Structure 1
Amino acid sequence: MAGISENWLNLVLLVLLTSGLSIVYSNRVQKALNWWTVQTIAVSLLILAQGVYHDEPEVIFVGVLLLIGKAGIIPILLRRVLRESKTAWVGEIYLKRATSLVVAGALTIIAYDVTKPLMALPQAGFRNGLAVAIALIFFGLLLMMIRKVAIVQVVGILLIDNGIFLAGFFLTQGMPLLVEMGSMFDILVGIVIIVILSKQMLENYDSLNVDHMRSLKG
């Protein structure tokens, strides 16, 4: 990723990791959504910087798409669902907030350990970026296991998506066409998930507790 300042890259990675930990620690859905939005904006800026420094219009397009679609449209739709459901709390917590944060910290250490075989990557920023990407995937999985509110679980899915996107970005040291197509596809998936949740759960149960999803099985 020649041309991008190592210090700037590390700052973005710090924002990504901090926002991920903050999402896990949040006790309000709105806070979790706000932190995810900040994280997605940081991802978009990273992609835009890559495109600008290397004069790659297609990469710039992907960055703009992420900024408008994921950091703009999806949060707006999720907030609309929150207003309709009047949901505030993240739902039943299987782990206390402090314990959740400790577990997330341990998962971060594991992420760095898992990426040790890839330490041959040319830049330290790439190695740190890959570890942060794996950590975000772990955070998303953790969030889906310890929360019951459907919107929070959607945030967990989107958190995993950010992690997978970043992992592909750092492993390929750029933005191949496959990743570009994936970024556009996951925006569509996110919107579909939101529509399904808002229609099936709010209309039928006036609640976003995922326990109600068991009764939606055919």
Structure 2
Amino acid sequence: MEVAGLLFLMLPCLAYAMGGMTDVSLRITRQNKGDVFTPEDVKSCTPETCVGLSSGTASAPSYSDPCTCQCHPHLPAFREDLRICVDDIHECMLAPFVGGSTSETIPFVFLPLKGQIIHPSKEISFSGVQTPICAVSGAKFLTESGWVDLRNPVDTDVPFRLFRDEGRTFLQWVGEADLRSKMSGRLVLVYLMCRELATNEPLTPTGYTLFSPCVAFRVVGSPTKFLSTNTYILDF
């Protein structure tokens, strides 16, 4: 009876650690080996806190600081809308960034100055496609409420272009400096519209195949703080 009573008394604590913190604000910092997130305004944590906050996809890397959680290396990207760590984005088929013998689906990147290449050491790979011709069709960034359209505030254009060099495809940033700053710490999804030219076929409506992959990446830093009304401080 004493053991049963003790377990009954512990139930509220376990519920808090495993699922009762879903409404707690999180501070997110993107990192190469796995995004880091910390619950704000929480006085104490247990080893189960990170497990509960991420549905088992993250853990506390240090026993001395159980409130600091990090995504597992094989699930490096933290989705603040779903509160889980992932290695893929189910909303779109992702084309990986490939360089040498390595391939990354959601790489950790530094957003460069306008006109420069994002993740220049790795090209975008289109698996099973020999002659792709692609263009950027849209872009979004992730918030706690879901995906939000990403456009330049001045001309409303998508702030990305594709750059071709010796048969390789790279992603180019063409956003303004202010927008670049606001994308710090964001998970970004760029939509592409592609066609594959059929070998030895003329350029006709039946001579190519259309497909719509995406590329995704995590920008170094932490997302812009949001207001208590859940309105993000992004003046687009």
- TM-score normalised by L of structure 2: 0.21
- Greater fraction helix: 1
- Greater fraction strand: 2
Structure whose CA Rg is larger: 2
- TM-score normalised by L of structure 1: 0.22
Of structures 1 and 2, the one scoring higher in RCO (CA 8 A, sep 6+) is 1
